[in-house]
Amino acid sequence: MHQLIKWQKSMSVHVSELDDQHKEMISIINNLYLVLKEDADARRIQDIVSQLQTYEKCHFEAEEALMVHCGYPGLEEHKAMHAVMQKKMAEFKTGLENGDVLPLVKLLPFLVEYLHDHIIKQDGKFAEFLRRHKSCAKQLPDKFPEKST
């Protein structure tokens, strides 16, 4: 199976729960890529976009909860990036629901760019913070969201 995005060690934030969530998001995006290559019907594409939206919301909540728990100084900037992603995904979904094909042309490049920028660069900053504050990541917050598939 050809993958659009492949998990790399450089993407790790060294918190298994978050890494697993990143891997799942990559898996959903790769599934979307394969479905688009198959010229699947719009309903199937919308379902995958909805799945990604739901999953990213859970992931963002988990990541932000850990950032709050650890006192991460970049929390507000990181939350703003998450909000941009959620807004953009909502726009793509609305366009698809309205029968607009333009979102399909822009969706995958946006997701690839966002994931690489967000996971490698932004989450990389958080990973560096966690490396300096090792005890924090070992004690996850009580309300750390569970994986929702």
The answer to whether 91 and 110 are in contact (CB under 8 A) is no
C-alpha–C-alpha distance, residues 66 and 136, integer Å: 9
Please, are residues 117 and 85 in contact by the beta-carbon 8 Å criterion?
no
- In order of their start, the domains of the chain are 14-137 (1.20.120.50)
pLDDT over 70 (residue 137): no
Residue 10 tokens read as: 């450089």
pLDDT of 130 strictly over 90: no
DSSP for 111-130, written as a single string: HHHHHIIIIIIIHHHHHHHH
Calculate mean pLDDT across residues 33-41: 82
Q: Minimal CA–CA distance to 49: which of 61, 35, 39, 38?
A: 35
Question: Across all residues in the chain, what is the average pLDDT?
Answer: 84
Predicted confidence band at 135 (pLDDT cuts at 50, 70, 90)? confident
pLDDT tens for residues 90-120?
988 888 888 877 677 788 888 888 888 888 8
User: Quick check: helix, strand or coil at residue 139?
Assistant: coil
